[in-house]
Structures are given as structure tokens and as C-alpha cells.
């Protein structure tokens, strides 16, 4: 190979590296911009110090142009970031929400979905948010192998309460993901304490999550302590819901207790959480 040929190849390689670097910087900028947006609810932005959105999404492997499915998005904390990000980077954001095809769906669940869809209907800000039914009897989350990343945050304990629900959910995740696709998990962590039966206090052991994911065809790729909270003693009177943001002071359905010692639990902050990244291997 001539010197001029080697020089040309070197310049081409350098250009590719520079292009990749510029692409990564642009992706980081888009994510940072989505998180920093003042259009996000003030309550969500106040929680960023506990939820670490940029660090968590970067750890999970979020990239421009991906199809991201968030299952049970709850109050929309991640939606407020992921939908605008997908719109800017030409990706897709799909929310797995209450399954309208389920004849047993409650009116409360039906209303919650309608309210959620109305909230994220502004295409100028959120792009086209897509929806798919999710639940104990729901069908596929999408075409097989169509998603790059499935995210579920603080939901796994709920799926342990219904027999067969967690294996069904994990299999649904696996089916919709591409080979090598990512399952991103954030969950309240029981460890080092033993997990309560079915995670009824909201805290789940890492081993149980990993076992459920592996049984469905995933491999644990990485753990992160981004969302760890060593102050969380995990022995609260109303489980994890005693802590912010739920701040429960009485049993479900009861009136809040006015004399409850709120300060000690607020001082702990949000829960200690596992942050896991799985990869679809089969």
C-alpha cells in the first residue's frame, strides 16, 4: 500500500470517528435539552435529583431514532422526556397503558388512559405519542422484533401480585424487542433485606427480577447504582409508599393521619432502587 493510500484511509477513518463523536454529542444534547425543558411539570423537575434522568437513560442505552416502549408510564415522568426526545431524534415513543380491549377494565383505568392521552396530545411538543394496550390479558406490545428499548420503572412489584403476570409481562417484552434489544428496569430494591412475599411492601430483590428476565430470554448486561439511596431502611409502616413521592400516612383508602411523623420519611427521600440493563439474547 502506498503512503498516499494509507494517508487517505487514515483520513477516512478519522472522519468516521469524528462523525460518530458528533452524533453522540448531538444525542447527548437532545437528551439534555429534553430534561432541561421548562415545559416539563415543576414537580417532575423537582424529582430529577432523585431520579437522575440523563444518567439513567444514558446507562440504559437510549439513542436517537430508537423505538422506545414504556410500559405502565404512571404519572408520565419519563414520557415528558422520552416523547420530546423521540420527536427531535426521529424515533418512536410508545406508551403501554390500560388495555381497552379488556372487558373487565375499570372505569378508573379507562379514565386514567383518556387523561394520559389528552395530556400528551400536543404534537408540537411531544410528537406523535403512540399507545398500546397492556395488562394481564393484553395482546402483543407491537410487531415482533420492532422495538429497540423497553422501559419499565417502579412497576415489577405490582406484577408479582397476580399469579402468572410477571412471566407474561417479561415474555411480552422479549417478543417485541429486536435481538440485542434492551430491557431497562428501575425498581425499588429490597436488598439486603429479604423480600416480603410477592413484594407487597413495594420492595423487590434483584435476584427475583434477574431470574424473571432470564427465564424470558434476557441476559443481565449491567447494574448501576445511579438510583441507590443508602438512607432507605426499607422498614416503613406503609412500605415504599411511606416515602416521597407517595408520602402515605395511613392505610389505602383511609384519611391521611394528621399526626404522622412525616419529617423522618421525607428526610430519607425517594427509595433505594436497582437500575438494571438487560439484553435480549433469545
pLDDT band at 21 (very low <50, low <70, confident <90, very high): very low
Does residue 130 contact residue 166 with C-beta atoms inside 8 Å? no
Backbone CA torsion sign across 109, 114, 117, 120? negative
Mean of per-residue pLDDT scores for the chain: 92
Tell whether the model's pLDDT for residue 196 goes beyond 60.
Answer: yes
Q: What is the pTM of this model?
A: 0.90
> Mean per-residue pLDDT for 193-202?
97
Q: How many CB atoms are closer than 10 A to CB 58? A: 16
Q: Which of the two residues, 26 and 191, has the higher pLDDT score?
A: 191
Tell whether the model's pLDDT for residue 239 goes beyond 90.
Answer: yes
Does residue 275 contact residue 227 with C-beta atoms inside 8 Å? yes
Does residue 210 contact residue 185 with C-beta atoms inside 8 Å? no
3-280 CATH pick, 3.40.50.10240, 3.40.50.150, 3.30.460.80, 3.40.50.300: 3.40.50.150
Tell whether the model's pLDDT for residue 18 goes beyond 90.
Answer: no
Residues 6+ apart with CB under 8 A from 171: 216
247 Rama class: left (phi>0) / alpha (psi -120 to 50) / beta: left
pLDDT of residue 23: 41
pLDDT of residue 12: 40
> Mean per-residue pLDDT for 59-73?
98
> Mean per-residue pLDDT for 26-54?
93
Q: Minimal CA–CA distance to 236: which of 205, 209, 272?
A: 272
Q: Minimal CA–CA distance to 170: which of 134, 132, 222?
A: 134
8-29 burial, b at 16+ Cβ within 10 Å, e below that, comes to eeeeeeeeeeeeeeeeeeebee
> Mean per-residue pLDDT for 196-219?
98
> Mean per-residue pLDDT for 96-122?
97
Tell whether the model's pLDDT for residue 174 goes beyond 90.
Answer: yes
Tell whether the model's pLDDT for residue 123 goes beyond 50.
Answer: yes
* pLDDT-above-70 percentage for the chain: 90
Amino acid at each position: 500500500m502506498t503512503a498516499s493510500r494509507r494517508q487517505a484511509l487514515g483520513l477516512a477513518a478519522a472522519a468516521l470517528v469524528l462523525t460518530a463523536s458528533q452524533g453522540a454529542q448531538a444525542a447527548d444534547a437532545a437528551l439534555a435539552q429534553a430534561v432541561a425543558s421548562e415545559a416539563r411539570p415543576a414537580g417532575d423537575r423537582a424529582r430529577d435529583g432523585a431520579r437522575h434522568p440523563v444518567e439513567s437513560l444514558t446507562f440504559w442505552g437510549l439513542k436517537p431514532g430508537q423505538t422506545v416502549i414504556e410500559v405502565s408510564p404512571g404519572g408520565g415522568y419519563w414520557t415528558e422526556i422520552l416523547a420530546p426526545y423521540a420527536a427531535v431524534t426521529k424515533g418512536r415513543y410508545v406508551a403501554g397503558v390500560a388495555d381497552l380491549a379488556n372487558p373487565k377494565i375499570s372505569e378508573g383505568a379507562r379514565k386514567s388512559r383518556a387523561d394520559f392521552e389528552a395530556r400528551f396530545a400536543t404534537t408540537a411538543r411531544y410528537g406523535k405519542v403512540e399507545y398500546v394496550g397492556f395488562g394481564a390479558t393484553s395482546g402483543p406490545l407491537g410487531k415482533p422484533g420492532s422495538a429497540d428499548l423497553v422501559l419499565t420503572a417502579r412497576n415489577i412489584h405490582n406484577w408479582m401480585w397476580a399469579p402468572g403476570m410477571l412471566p407474561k409481562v417479561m415474555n411480552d417484552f422479549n417478543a417485541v424487542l429486536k435481538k440485542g434489544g434492551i430491557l431497562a428496569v428501575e425498581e425499588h430494591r429490597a436488598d439486603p433485606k429479604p423480600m416480603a412475599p410477592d413484594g407487597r411492601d413495594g420492595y423487590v430483590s434483584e435476584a427475583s427480577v434477574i431470574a424473571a428476565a432470564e427465564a424470558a430470554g434476557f441476559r443481565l448486561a449491567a447494574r448501576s447504582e445511579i438510583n441507590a439511596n443508602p438512607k432507605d431502611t426499607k422498614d416503613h409502616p406503609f412500605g415504599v409508599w411511606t416515602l416521597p413521592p407517595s408520602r402515605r400516612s395511613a392505610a389505602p383508602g383511609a384519611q391521611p393521619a394528621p399526626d404522622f411523623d412525616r419529617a423522618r420519611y421525607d428526610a430519607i427521600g425517594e427509595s433505594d432502587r436497582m437500575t438494571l440493563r438487560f439484553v435480549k439474547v433469545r
